[in-house]
Each structure stands twice: as structure tokens, then as C-alpha cells.
Amino acid sequence: MTVQPPIPFRASATPPEQVAFDRLELGTILGLYGRMVAAGEWRDYALSFLSDMAVFSVFRRAAEHPLYRIEKRPRLRSRQGMYAVVGMDGQVLKRGHDLPTVLRILERKLIRPVD
């Protein structure tokens, strides 16, 4: 009877990478979030870092569904753009390659006509 050596543990079996917002992206998003909180429009947020996308969800109240989701999907970088703003109903409101340009759709909601 021959004894086989133990199978070594593979250190290369790493968990899948997470997509995250970098410091500049997060600063841009939190700047908008601060202005919307000051205007009384938004109250809470949540961050999700998944293997294929990062999501910044915005809530008006403690609700089940976010009011808006700001998504970063690096796989779409060469196609439609990796940034998107998604509404409560799942509809993509704006998609593009430049985060500040994509976030302008939410800035418009902050500007209201003066009576």
C-alpha cells in the first residue's frame, strides 16, 4: 500500500474581487448627497460592493427600495459607460463614461424654480 502525499492548499484560490468606488468618485457622490440632504430631499444611503458592480443607494426615508441607485459597472467601460443612475422603478435615467456628467440628472432635481 502506497501513501500519497497530502494535497497542498492552493493559495491562488482567492475570493472574487470586489468593485468599489475610488476616493475621487466617492467624494463626488458624497458632495451631491450632502447638498441633497441639506435641501431635505435625501435622508439615508447604503453602499454595496459586489463582484461585478459597486452601488451607492439613496433613500428618502427608511424604505425597502432606494429612491436612486448610482452604479459603477467596469465591464461596461468600453460600451455605454460604466456609470449609471437608476430610478426607483429600475429604469436607467442616465448612463455615461464621466461620473459628474451622469450625476447632473440628480442635480437638476435640486434646482427648483423660484415663485
Asked whether residue 8 carries a pLDDT value surpassing 80, the answer given is no
Three-state secondary structure call for residue 63: coil
Q: What is the pLDDT of residues 19-49, one digit of tens each?
A: 888 899 999 999 999 999 998 888 899 999 9
> Do the domain assignments include residue 1?
no
State how many domains the chain has. 1
Which residues, 6+ apart, have CB-to-CB distance to 51 below 8 Å? Answer: 16, 17, 18, 19
Domain that includes residue 104, residue range = 23-110
> Do the domain assignments include residue 115?
no
* CA dist list (Å): 91 to 2, 49, 73, 97, 103: 63, 21, 16, 18, 15
> Do the domain assignments include residue 34?
yes
Q: What is the pLDDT of residues 62-73, one digit of tens each?
A: 767 889 999 999
